[in-house]
Structure 1
Amino acid sequence: MEKINWYGTYSLTLREIKRFLRVYHQTIFTPVVSALIFLAVFVLAIGNHKASISGIKFIDFMGYGLIAMSIVQNAFANSSSSFIMSKMLGYISDILTPPFGSVEIIIAFTIGAVLRGVFVGIAVAIALIPFVDYTLAHPFLLVFYVLASCTLLGKLGLLSGLISNSFDQHSAITSYLITPLSFLSGTFYSVQSLPPIFQQINLLNPFFYIIDGFRYCLTDKADGNITGGILFLMISNGIMYFILVKLIDKGWRIKS
C-alpha cells in the first residue's frame, strides 16, 4: 500500500478550506438566505392547511429538511466546483504532480466539502431558530449522518468534476441530477403520502436516506429504514472511494 503524504494532504486541504471561506458571502450566507426564502414560501402557502407531517409540526418538518438539503447540496458544490475550476484554469497539473496521489486528492477535496457542508448546516440552523423548534433524539447518530452524507456528496462532487470538461457540463449534472434528487427526496413532504410505486422508486434515491435519517436524529420519526440508510451511506462511501481512486490513478479526463 502506497504511503500517504500527510503534509501534502494538509496543504491541499487548507487550500480547499481557504477557497470557500474567502467568498463566505456566496458559499455560506447565500444558502442561508435561500433556506429562509423556501421556508417562508412553503409556510405561507401551505402552513395554515397542514398542521403536521408524520407527527412533526409542519414548519419543523420543513426546517429540518431544509437544513439537511443545504448541507448536502453545498458539500457537493464545493468539491465539484473546485475540481472543475482547476481543470478549466489549468492548475490541475499542480495537483496531479507528485507528491500528490489519488488518495491525497480525495481526502483533501472531501474534507473541504465536509467542512463547507457543516458550516452551512450550522448557519442555516441558527438562522431558523426563531421559526423552528429543535429537538435532539439521537445526537451521536446525527454526527454520523452529517459526516457520512457530506463525505458521500463530496466524493460525488469530485466525480462530477472528473466527468465535466466545462462549466456547462457541470451545471447540467447539478441541474438534471443533484437538484431534482434532493428536492424529490422528502425534503418538503413525507414519502408516505406518495403512491406505493413511487415510494419504492424513492428508495433508490440516496438523498432520501440522508434527509430522512437527519430528520430521524432530531425527532425519532422516520419514513424509511434507518439501519438500511446507515448501511447505504457506508457502502456508497466505500464504492465511491474505490471508483475515484481508479479513475484518478488512470488520469481519466484529466490527463491528455
Structure 2
Amino acid sequence: MGERRFGRFNLLGLWTLILREVLRFSNVWLQTLLAPVATAALFMVVFSLALAARSGGQADTEFIHFLAPGILMMTVIQNAFANTSSSLLVSKIQGNIVDTLMPPLSPVELTVGYAVGGIARGLFVALGVAVAIFPVIGLGIAHPLWALGFVLGGSAFMALVGILAAIVADKFDHMSAITNFVVTPLSFLSGTFYSISVLPGWMQAISHANPFFYMIDGIRYGVIGVSDTAPAFGLGVLVVVDLALGFWAWSWFRSGYRLKP
C-alpha cells in the first residue's frame, strides 16, 4: 500500500513520528508528569512557608496566586525543551538518527513532528500542574482560551529551541551548557517571581526583549487576569518568534546541518 499523502505531505509518516515522540514521554509518566508536578508543588510550598514566616504565620495569598502561573509556565518550558532536545540528541549520540532521516519525511514534516511531540508534553504537564495545584491554593483560570494559547505558544517556542539545541550539540555536556547558561537564566529573569513594573526603566526594556517574558506574562493574564503588557501583543510576539524558529529548524533539517555525516 502506498504512503498516505495529503498533497505533498506524508501524513502516515508524520503521524508515526508524532506518535513516537508522544509515546516517549507518556510511557514514563512518573518521570515526565509526576516529577514536574512534584517540583512545581515544592516551589509553591517553599514560597508559601517563606512568606508566612516573614509575615508572622500568614501566607500572602495574593502573591501565591501571582506566582502560580509563572511556576506552571516554567514547568512547561522545561519539559517542552527536554522532549525535543533529548529525543534528537540521543538519536545523534547513539547513531540511529539515520532511522529518522532516511524515511520519506520532508524537512517540514520532521520539524512539525518533533515540535508537536514537545507541545504535547508541554500541554500534558500544564494540565497536571493546573489540576494538582490550582484547586489546593484556591486558584481558578480567568481566561481559559488565553491561557491555552500561551501554553501552546510557549511549548512550541521551547520545542523548536530544543530541536536547534540538539542539532548544535554533540554530547550531553553541550546540552547542559545550553540549559544552564541560556534557558535557565532567561526563564528566571522573565518575571516569574516578580512583576517587571518594579524594575528600573532600562531593565524593563531588557525584559521586553526576552521572549520568555511574554510566555510568563501571558499565562499570568490567562490565569489571574493580570499582565504587564497587552496579551494580544505578547501572543503575537510568540507567534512571530515561533515561525522564525520553525523556519530555522526546517532549514537545518533541509541541509542536514550537523545531522548528516
TM range (shorter): over 0.9
- For residues 123-134 of structure 1, the aligned pairs below 5 Å read 123-134=128-139
Separation (CA, whole Å) in 2 of partners of 1:184 and 1:46: 20
Say if 2:234 is the partner of 1:229.
yes
Task: State whether structure 2 residue 38 is matched by structure 1 residue 33.
Answer: yes
Name the CA shift for 1:190/1:98 in 2 (closer, same or farther; >3 Å): same
CA distance in 2, matches of 1:122, 1:142: 11
Contact 2:66 2:224 in 1 (8 A): no
SS at match of 1:224: coil
Measure, in 1, the Cα distance between the counterparts of 2:27 and 2:142. 35
Q: Which amino acid aligns with 1:235?
A: V
Query: For 2:70, which of 65, 73, 87 is the aligned residue?
Result: 65
Measure the CA separation in 2 of the matches of 1:179 and 1:83. Answer: 20
Task: Compute the displacement of 1:49 (Å).
Answer: 4.5
Q: State the 1:130 CA deviation.
A: 4.8
2:214 aligned residue (202, 209, 232) = 209
Once the two structures are overlaid, the 10-residue window that deviates more, 80-89 or 19-28, is 19-28
What is the TM-score normalised by the length of structure 1?
Answer: 0.93
Contact 1:47 1:59 in 2 (8 A): no
Q: Aligned partner of 2:121: which letter?
A: R
Aligned to 1:91: 96
Structure 2 counterpart of 1:81: 86
CA displacement at 1:13 relative to structure 2: 0.8
**Is the Cα–Cα contact under 8 Å of residues 108 and 250 in structure 2 kept in the other structure?**
yes
Task: Provide the TM-score with structure 2 as the length reference.
Answer: 0.91
Percent same amino acid among aligned pairs? Answer: 39
Among candidates 239, 244, 249, match of residue 244 of structure 1: 249
Q: Could you report, residue by residue, the CA deviation over 1:127-148 in whole angstroms, capped at 9, with x for unpaired residues? A: 2135322233322222211112
CA RMSD across the alignment: 1.8
Match of 1:44 in 2: 49
Moved over 4 A (4+): 47-53
Amino acid in the other structure paired with 2:128:
A
SS at match of 1:57: helix
Cα offset, 1:48, TM superposition: 5.5
Superposed counterparts of 1:62-211, under 5 Å: 62-211=67-216
Q: Return the offset for 1:47.
A: 4.3
Distance in 2, matches of 1:233 and 1:45, equals 33
Displacement of 1:52 after TM fit? 9.7
- Secondary structure at the aligned position of 2:9 is classed as coil
For the residue of structure 2 that corresponds to 1:120, the secondary structure is: helix
Structure 2: gaps (5+ residues): 1-6
The answer to whether the 8 Å contact 1:5/1:99 transfers is yes
CA contact (8 A) 1:59 1:131 kept: no
Q: What is the total number of aligned residue pairs between the two structures? A: 253
